[in-house]
Amino acid sequence: MTDTAVSDVTRASIAQPASKPARPFFSSGPCAKPPGWSADRLDTAALGRSHRSKLGKDRLAHCIALMREMLRLPDTHRIGIVPGSDTGAFEMAMWTMLGARPVTTLAWESFGEGWVTDAVKQLKIDPIVIRADYGQLPDLTQVDWSNDVLFTWNGTTSGVRVPNADWIPADREGLSFADATSGVFAYDIDWTKIDVATFSWQKVLGGEGAHGVLILGPRAVERLESYTPAWPLPKVFRLVSKGKLAEGVFKGETINTPSMLAVEDAIFALEWAQGLGGADALIARSDANAAALDAIVDARDWLGHLATDPATRSKTSVCLTVDGADEAFIKKMASLLEKEGAAFDVAGYRDAPPGLRIWCGATVDTADIEALGPWLDWAYATAKAA
């Protein structure tokens, strides 16, 4: 091939695509708003009112009722809105319930490692730790269910998830604690296997940050009412009063003052989901987005999945490998895409191996995932040519 021909190929490979994703929001948290969202579509009647007013309580209770409906949560499980996003909700569960029996922690990404750190360095309970490298899932058959067990349902920073809840025995002695923040509303979760679950609105619902959601099954409630931890509990962690569960927390009487604007934003997303057809519609949208991204990866030899096993690969926070890329190269690609308004916030998590991370949750449109492919080509070729 002549030098002129090589030059022509290079120019063609870095020519910008003709069209862009209509909504280039691929961040893994906070995630894309639901299609059609705008601030002026939120119900603002409760803004400027006390969250303890009848209106405030009604809106909080409505939000909880919608979450129950969308999650298909049985009446045996309670739902509470708590401070501190998913992290606050999960730490609330750890601080209030751990210590009654031995603990096993599972870690295959940075947030799972965070719960290990909390258990070891803060609560000092010396847990059994079962780890796997980024992109892998540990051997779940190793888990001793006479222990309390902590795990992430869907690893946001590794793109690895548990395949289902079949590995959790119905006759377990310990409690199952699931950090499900990138999993709820995207997978059909067997709630009979989950004693404690946490998430935040900012993931699959595309809501705002700062608030967490805590789900408690009956065995978790029994633990709270029968066990008092050895360590002091901050006020925002206290779920028990006079030996009984503070039921008001799970009816909209929050422990501290919530943002009613964030609550209304969550209600908008939940009502949008309800209008689509509920949980099945949300799951279908995530599935379609993940399939569209799979097609992009399959068509490119320089792009791959960090999670190599499709059975345990996330359908929401999808982590990709880029052939030969280091952290600087990934930053270059992400910067190029952001500058052109073609894709925002697609660099992998800071603690993960260098790569891209594309959110495929329900608030993303499949057409935007499909439109992303040519732009990834452009950014890769442009970064290599730089």
Q: Mind listing the pLDDT tens digit for each residue in 143-190?
A: 999 999 999 999 999 999 999 999 999 999 999 999 999 999 999 999
Q: Whole-number mean pLDDT of the chain?
A: 95
- Of the chain, the percentage scoring pLDDT greater than 70 comes to 97
Q: What is the DSSP-derived secondary structure letter of residue 40?
A: G
Q: Are residues 216 and 166 in the same domain?
A: yes
Structural domain for 302, as ranges: 3-36+278-385
Asked if residue 171 and residue 64 are part of one domain, the reply reads: yes
Q: How confident is the model at residue 14 (pLDDT cuts 50, 70, 90)?
A: confident
Encode pLDDT of 208-224 as tens digits.
999 999 999 999 999 99
Task: Read off the pLDDT of each residue in 100-123 and give the average, rounded to a whole number.
Answer: 96
Looking at the structure, tell me whether residues 106 and 187 fall in a common domain: yes
- pLDDT at 279 exceeding the cut of 70: yes
In sign, the C-alpha dihedral spanning 246, 247, 253, 258 is positive
pLDDT value at position 13? 60
Is 50 exceeded by the pLDDT of residue 50? yes
Stretch 367-380: mean pLDDT: 98
Residues 322, 303: Cα–Cα separation, whole Å: 5
User: For residue 380, what are its two tokens?
Assistant: 């890769």
pLDDT of residue 386: 87
- 379 and 269 belong to one structural domain: no
Q: What is the 3-state secondary structure (H, E, C) of 160-209?
A: EECCCCCCCCCCCCCCEEEECCCCCCCCCCCHHHCCEEEEECCCCCCCCC
Residues 315 and 209 in one domain: no
348, 202: one domain: no
Claim to verify: residue 223 and residue 114 sit in the same structural domain: yes
pLDDT average, residue stretch 46-69: 97
| pLDDT band, residue 33 (cuts 50/70/90) | very high
CATH of the domain at 380: 3.90.1150.10
d(CA 297, CA 304): 6
From 274, 303, 319, the end of a domain falls on 274
What are the pLDDT digits (tens) for 340-364?
999 999 999 999 999 999 999 999 9
Same structural domain, 298 and 266: no
User: How many domains is the chain built from?
Assistant: 2
Q: Which CATH number does the domain housing residue 191 bear?
A: 3.40.640.10
The DSSP secondary structure of 271-314, one letter per residue, reads: HHHHHHTSHHHHHHHHHHHHHHHHHHHHT-TTEEESS--GGGB-
- Does 12 have pLDDT greater than 70? no
Q: Quick one: 209 and 354 in the same domain?
A: no
Domain match, 118 and 202 both: yes
For the segment 89-94, the average pLDDT, to the nearest whole number, is 98
Give the mean pLDDT of 328-344. 98
* Residue that finishes a domain, picked among 257, 274, 291: 274
Q: Residues 242, 212: one domain?
A: yes
User: Stretch 243-250: mean pLDDT, rounded?
Assistant: 95
pLDDT of residue 159: 97
Domain boundary among 237, 255, 274: 274
Task: Assess whether pLDDT exceeds 60 at residue 10.
Answer: no
Q: pLDDT per residue over 131-141, tens digit each?
A: 999 999 999 99
Q: What is the pLDDT of residues 181-207, one digit of tens each?
A: 999 999 999 999 999 999 999 999 999
- In this predicted structure, what is the pLDDT of residue 6? 35
307, pLDDT greater than 50: yes
- CA–CA distance, 316 with 383 (Å, rounded to integer): 26
Task: Determine which of 22-26, 252-256, 313-317 has the lowest per-residue pLDDT on average.
Answer: 252-256
- State whether 236 and 353 are in the same domain: no
CB neighbour class for 252 (10 Å; exposed up to 12, middle 13-18, buried from 19): buried
> Cβ of 351: how many Cβ atoms within 10 Å?
13
